[in-house]
């Protein structure tokens, strides 16, 4: 019994003494981790680059009607058709300014297409940032779960160590056989392997959290377990959430914006067969005077393409194919999002209605079993207190893991909806 008491003390020390992964210092909160998700990250940099490219294309489309000023200087020698046979200098300096007055929709359509593309890229950037938050949240919860699993495995290992160590004394007095002792030592070694593996997984989970926060190599010491009070929110029915998701989902809105941009580009390509009206002003200086040369002239120029071969039909066919592709992608995305919404809704519904209750009941049962084991240990009836403590930790791990899953499911649901539930539905009664 003295050895059992030493073993139970070892179990308590496993709880009280920080493991090698948790150094002293300020604990990392979920809010701090989510704030770090707003910082620079390769995923956000990619989305931002796509947005900046769309903005550049928008500037380029608007520049089609900008004023164009060209300076042309020429050094030439010419032989006049009349007069001396020798060549004369025929240099020139011309300054030409040209401004499009009307292009029958080319610039307007290209600008509308570019604007729709910018809206799509900005929406995709917001969606990428939301996905970063979900990723950081998942990694944060993974560290908490890994720490709790390590603690549970550490306690189980301590109990197995006590049993194996106590078995040596029992073998000496003939209470057990050598085979029984070998089995106890085997169980201890197995639990030690699981404990070390849990410690390794906890470190890997921290490394993944650091990468998700764009802080590679900066492993968090201790994490503060959040309360997650929002997990008790009322869940609206799936049939109510579906139309709200199709209207507010960021990926769906981005895809529809790209469809609109493709439609506008097709109209812009068709407009290439239309005329162009420009205003032109030109000033010139000549080294050789001629009756047909003007030092200053201004006018309006109408250009009407009568035949361009396949210069219009080929780009139009390509844009039409791109439009059909985007249309197919939008239809598929609509189905995928409906499935994802149903999956998230089902997860929340099951976790709230049954899994959470079962986990809490298991914790209550294990707490009572622990109290019973503690009472039996105090009167030295049984030595199963360590087993009861390990089982209690496993039950608490299950309860907290359920809360983490529920919080992540709500986060994914709101990402699908394009905003928090309380913004989409003003009250729980309205959502029913």
- Total number of domains constituting the chain: 1
What residues does 77 pair with on adjacent strands?
89
Please tell me the least confidently modeled range out of 11-15, 82-86, 168-172: 11-15
pLDDT of residue 295: 87
Q: Is 200 inside any structural domain?
A: yes
pLDDT digits (tens, 9 = 90+) for 287-313: 887 777 888 999 999 999 988 888 889
d(CA 262, CA 254): 12
pLDDT digits (tens, 9 = 90+) for 93-127: 999 999 999 988 888 999 999 999 999 999 999 89
The domain that contains 379 carries what CATH number? Answer: 1.20.1600.10
Percent of the chain with pLDDT strictly greater than 90? 47
Helix, coil or strand: residue 98: strand
Q: What is the mean pLDDT of residues 403-410?
A: 94
CB 352 within 8 A of CB 235: yes
Cα 321 from chain centroid (whole Å) = 29
In whole angstroms, how far apart are CA 80 and each of 76, 291, 337?
A: 12, 13, 77
Residue located via tokens 């169980």: 187
Q: Is 352 inside any structural domain?
A: yes
pLDDT of residue 18: 40
In whole angstroms, how far apart are CA 239 and each of 134, 221, 253, 255?
A: 24, 44, 20, 23
d(CA 223, CA 29): 6
Q: What is the pLDDT confidence band of residue 384, given thresholds at 50, 70 and 90? A: low
Q: Is 267 inside any structural domain?
A: yes
Helix, coil or strand: residue 366: helix
**pLDDT for residue 348 is more than 90:** yes
Range of the domain at 244: 2-76+89-431
pLDDT of residue 84: 64
pLDDT digits (tens, 9 = 90+) for 385-394: 667 777 788 8
What DSSP string describes 362-428? HHHHHHHHHHHHHHHHHTTS---HHHHHHHHHHHHHHHHHHHHHHHHHHHHHHHHHTS-HHHH-SSH
Cα 355 from chain centroid (whole Å) = 28
Q: What is the pLDDT confidence band of residue 383, given thresholds at 50, 70 and 90? A: low
Predicted TM-score (pTM) of this structure: 0.77
pLDDT digits (tens, 9 = 90+) for 170-184: 888 888 888 988 998
CB 316 within 8 A of CB 270: yes
pLDDT of residue 407: 94
Q: How many CA atoms lie within 13 A of 387 on its CB side?
A: 10
Q: How many CB atoms lie within 10 A of CB 158?
A: 25
pLDDT digits (tens, 9 = 90+) for 27-77: 899 999 998 877 778 888 888 899 999 999 888 888 888 899 999 998 888
Q: Is 83 inside any structural domain?
A: no
* 48: exposed, middle or buried (Cβ count in 10 Å: 0-12, 13-18, 19+): middle
pLDDT digits (tens, 9 = 90+) for 227-256: 998 999 999 999 999 999 999 999 999 999
Q: What is the pLDDT confidence band of residue 425, given thresholds at 50, 70 and 90? A: low
Q: Is 81 inside any structural domain?
A: no
* 187: exposed, middle or buried (Cβ count in 10 Å: 0-12, 13-18, 19+): middle
d(CA 15, CA 85): 110
pLDDT digits (tens, 9 = 90+) for 120-175: 999 999 899 999 999 999 999 999 999 999 988 888 888 888 888 888 988 888 88
**pLDDT for residue 372 is more than 90:** no
Mean pLDDT score of the chain, rounded to an integer?
A: 85
pLDDT of residue 237: 92
Q: 32 — alpha (psi -120 to 50), left (phi > 0) or beta?
A: alpha
Q: Is 84 inside any structural domain?
A: no
pLDDT digits (tens, 9 = 90+) for 192-241: 999 999 999 999 999 999 998 888 888 888 899 999 989 999 999 999 99
Question: 17 versus 37: which is more confidently predicted?
Answer: 37
pLDDT of residue 174: 87
Residue 153 has φ and ψ, to the nearest 5°, of: -70, -35
Comparing CA positions, the residue from 260, 251, 267, 249 lying closest to residue 323 is 260
Q: What is the mean pLDDT of residues 281-286?
A: 90
Q: Is 114 inside any structural domain?
A: yes
Q: What is the mean pLDDT of residues 259-288?
A: 91
In whole angstroms, how far apart are CA 62 and each of 106, 115, 219?
A: 10, 10, 48
Please tell me the least confidently modeled range out of 9-23, 74-88, 174-188, 233-247: 9-23
């Amino acid at each position: 019994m003295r050895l059992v008491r030493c073993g139970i003390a070892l179990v308590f020390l496993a709880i009280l003494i920080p493991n090698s992964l948790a150094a002293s210092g300020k604990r990392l909160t979920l809010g701090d981790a989510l704030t770090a998700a707003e910082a620079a990250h390769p995923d956000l940099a990619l989305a931002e680059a796509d947005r900046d490219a769309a903005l550049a294309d928008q500037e380029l489309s608007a520049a089609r009607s900008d004023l164009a000023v060209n300076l042309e200087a020429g050094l030439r020698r010419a032989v006049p058709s009349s007069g001396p046979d020798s060549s004369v200098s025929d240099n020139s300096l011309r300054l030409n300014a040209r401004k499009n007055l009307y292009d029958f929709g080319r610039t307007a359509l290209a600008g509308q297409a570019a604007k729709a593309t910018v809206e799509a890229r900005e929406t995709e950037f917001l969606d990428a940032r939301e996905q970063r938050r979900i990723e950081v949240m998942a990694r944060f919860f993974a560290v908490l779960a890994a720490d709790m699993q390590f603690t549970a495995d550490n306690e189980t290992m301590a109990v197995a160590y006590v049993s194996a160590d106590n078995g040596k004394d029992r073998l000496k007095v003939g209470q057990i056989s050598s085979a029984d002792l070998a089995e106890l030592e085997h169980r201890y070694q197995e639990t030690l392997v699981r404990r070390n593996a849990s410690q390794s997984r906890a470190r890997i989970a921290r490394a993944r959290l650091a990468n998700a926060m764009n802080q590679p190599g900066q492993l968090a010491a201790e994490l503060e377990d959040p309360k997650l009070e929002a997990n008790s929110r009322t869940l609206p029915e799936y049939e109510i959430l579906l139309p709200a998701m199709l209207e507010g989902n960021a990926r769906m809105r981005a895809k529809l914006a790209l469809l609109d941009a493709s439609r506008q580009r097709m109209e812009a390509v068709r407009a290439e067969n239309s005329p162009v009206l420009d205003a032109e002003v030109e000033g010139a200086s000549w080294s050789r005077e001629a009756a047909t040369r003007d030092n200053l002239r201004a006018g309006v120029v109408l250009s009407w393409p009568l035949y361009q071969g396949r210069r219009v039909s080929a780009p139009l066919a390509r844009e039409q194919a791109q439009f059909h592709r985007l249309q197919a992608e939008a239809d598929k995305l609509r189905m995928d999002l409906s499935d994802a919404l149903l999956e998230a809704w089902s997860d929340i519904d099951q976790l709230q209605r049954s899994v959470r209750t079962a986990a809490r009941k298991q914790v209550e049962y294990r707490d009572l079993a622990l109290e019973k084991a503690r009472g039996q240990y105090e009167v030295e009836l049984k030595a199963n207190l360590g087993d009861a403590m390990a089982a209690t930790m496993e039950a608490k791990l299950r309860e907290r893991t359920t809360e983490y899953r529920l919080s992540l499911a709500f986060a994914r649901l709101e990402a699908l909806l394009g905003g928090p539930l309380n913004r989409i539905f003003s009250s729980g009664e309205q959502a029913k």
